[in-house]
Amino acid sequence: MKRNNENWVFTLILTILVLQACETDDLEAVEIDDIETVINDTEEENEEDALAARRQNNRNDGLNPSEETVQLITDWNELWLVLDRYTEGLRPNTTARGLAYIHLAGYETAVADMDGYGSNAERLQGLNINTNQRADNVDRNLALNVCYALVLDHFMFSVSNNAKAGISTLENEKEDELSEGLSEEEIENSIAWGTLIAESVIDYSLTDNDAETQQIDPNPRSYVAPIGVGLWAASEGETAWFPYWNQVRTFVISPEETSSTPPPFVHSAETSSGYYEEMDMVNTTTTTARLEDNENLWISEFWSDDVEGLMMSPPGRQFSIANQLIEQEDLEYEQTLELLLRLGFAMNDAAVSAWDDKYTYNTERPSRYILEYIDNDFQTNLARFISSPNPAFPAYPSGHATFAAAAAGVFMDIFQGDAINFTDRTHAGRSEFRSGARSFSSFSGMAEENGYSRIPLGVHIQADSDEGARLGYEISAAINNYNLSPNF
């Protein structure tokens, strides 16, 4: 699939970055490398000429209808990834949830055109979609455009109004392009269908009272963390994030259905113990990475995705990878919507099960142990980005490793195998942290490195990542077996 409209997408991203900086009255919030990257990819042409050029490019490139739909989907994904960077208080749990509903809506908008696929309204209790309201002359792309605009606006609720202005900008830009050659009736029916699906999915999400309550109050005062040797404790000024997330709706597999492996260690201050050795490995690996500025530091920062305003969220990172794979592997729109739907379900269900286990076992972060028993000068390699040295929730299992493995399992199923020649360029052009690009020959290898990255970052021990990977693959197996055929 040849991309033909990158210029205006980058222009839109630049606009969002500038508006975000202006809102905080801090122009330094717009990273220079971001702007330079955008400017280098943006032609100096006015809006009217740009629209005409895009239409001409579409004709010249001869994009078929499937390619045009894929282009639309990935453009909306690119915008979502920019917005994700600037969310406040969503990550990673509410972000994962939002992704599931956003891509459920996209799938349901187009499923009537997709041979061999059926609606989830027959599978998900409480999802009510009146298919009789879909007119025969709905334009798929125009309907998708309005649907994505509505669900992004709803589920990315903690993004500033200035940043969210990019949603209406993209919607209007696309609507002008997609409406060309359509009758007024086709336009009205397409917008009506996209609106109906978006509203139906949003209404379905609102029936999950536990999630709706917790995403507004992710640090409930009602939660009191257990106190004891080896147990997690919030850093000064922190409170636990999403301690009741195990009560949130899942789409395919619940915490009761996933298996749970207790931590394979017992807290011990003895230097000969396995527990001490795991913690000491984190101390040595983290400190050496920082002092030597070595590849482990690159790996840890490349996958960190921890810092609001600087990086996207951990679940969002998997959608950045998906966007790149969609283009590289030239997926048809049906496969694209299936991939994003399954990936959204996987991220949601992974967050629910991982957080269920986190607050079941309540294991401490390495820094707490290391500071007490090994090195009272220890600091994580996350410390230079945020004031708190750790994410504000228990360690076991690693959320990053769970998300990465769940995504890898979905990718293996969609692309029919583990082997892949893939270079992740998610952070291309960034200079505030070790970004660059990294290449992988397998999905499992990419997921393994993601999980391992938490050790040189200083926020997990290897056992945390091992259990996250095990849980993630268990979740992906259930997601891959989820029946999307019309004969459910």
* pLDDT at residue 238 in the model: 79
Single residue among 153, 179, 211 that ends a domain in this structure: 211
Same domain, 169 and 226: no
Residues 156-176: pLDDT tens digits?
A: 999 988 889 999 999 999 999
Residue 159 neighbours by CB under 8 Å, 6+ apart:
83, 86, 87, 88
Query: What is the tally of structural domains in the chain?
Result: 2
Q: Domain for residue 1, yes or no? A: no
**pLDDT given for residue 62 in this prediction:** 65
- Give the pLDDT confidence score for residue 23 in this predicted structure: 56
Where residue 391 falls among pLDDT bands split at 50, 70, 90? confident
Tell me which long-range contacts 118-124 makes (C-beta under 8 A, separation of at least 24). 118/484, 118/485, 118/486, 118/487, 118/488, 119/486, 120/484, 122/488, 123/482, 123/483, 123/488, 124/204, 124/251
Query: Of the ranges 59-68, 114-123, 418-427, which one carries the lowest mean pLDDT score?
Result: 59-68
pLDDT over 50 at 30, yes or no: no
pLDDT of residue 36: 44
pLDDT exceeds cutoff 80 at 137: yes
User: Is pLDDT of 9 > 80?
Assistant: no
131 and 85 both lie in a single domain:
yes
d(CA 153, CA 96): 15
Residue 481: how many CB atoms within 10 A of its CB?
Answer: 10
- C-alpha 350: how far from chain center: 12
Domain boundary among 187, 211, 235: 211
Is the pLDDT score of 55 beyond 80? no
**What CATH number should be reported for the domain holding residue 373?**
1.10.606.20
Do 254 and 194 belong together in one domain? no
Task: Decide if 155 is inside a domain.
Answer: yes
Question: Predicted confidence band at 234 (pLDDT cuts at 50, 70, 90)?
Answer: confident
Residue 150 near residue 135 (C-beta atoms within 8 A): no
Angstrom distance (rounded) from CA 344 to CA 305: 18
Quick one: pLDDT at residue 163?
Answer: 86
Question: What pLDDT was estimated at residue 282?
Answer: 98
Within this chain, do residues 260 and 181 fall inside the same structural domain, yes or no?
Answer: no
CA-to-CA distance for 378 and 119, rounded, in angstroms? Answer: 52
Kindly report the CA angle at 287 between 276 and 313, in degrees rounded to 5?
95
> Could you tell me what percent of the chain has a pLDDT over 70?
87
The tally of CA atoms less than 13 A away on the side-chain side of residue 82 is 28
Asked if residue 485 is part of any domain, the answer here is no
280 and 396, same domain (yes or no): yes
pLDDT: is 391 or 419 the higher one?
A: 419
Is pLDDT above 50 for 43?
no
Mean pLDDT lowest for which of 29-43, 96-110, 292-306, 376-390?
Answer: 29-43
* Residue 296 is assigned to a structural domain of this protein: yes
* pLDDT value at 290 more than 70: yes
Is there a domain that residue 486 lies in?
no
CA 329 to CA 344: how far, in whole Å? 19
- Sign (positive or negative) of CA dihedral 270, 275, 281, 286: negative
Which pLDDT tens digit goes with each residue over 453-465?
999 999 999 999 9
Q: Which of 178, 187, 204 is nearest to 105 (CA)?
A: 204
Q: How confident is the model at residue 333 (pLDDT cuts 50, 70, 90)?
A: very high
Residues 22 and 128 in one domain: yes
- Whether 171 and 281 map to the same domain: the answer is no
DSSP letter, residue 157: T
Q: Which of 179, 211, 243 is the last residue of a domain?
A: 211
* 25 and 139 housed in the same domain: yes
The domain that contains 43 carries what CATH number? 1.20.144
Q: Say yes or no to pLDDT of 275 above 50.
A: yes
Helices 65-85 and 314-328 sit at what angle, rounded to 10 degrees? 160
Q: Do both 111 and 19 map to the same domain?
A: yes
Mean pLDDT of 362-376: 96
* Domain-embedded: residue 45: yes
Q: Are residues 263 and 179 in the same domain?
A: no
Which pLDDT score is estimated for 52? 42
User: Whole domain around residue 95: which residue ranges?
Assistant: 6-211
pLDDT at 40: 41
> 182 and 69, same structural domain?
yes
Structural domain includes residue 488 = no
What is the average per-residue pLDDT within 229-251? 92
Residue 487 lies in a domain: no
Mean pLDDT over each residue of the chain, to the nearest integer: 90
Q: Which of 2-11, 142-151, 412-421 has the lowest mean pLDDT?
A: 2-11
In this structure, the answer to whether residues 153 and 289 fall within a common structural domain is: no
pTM: 0.91
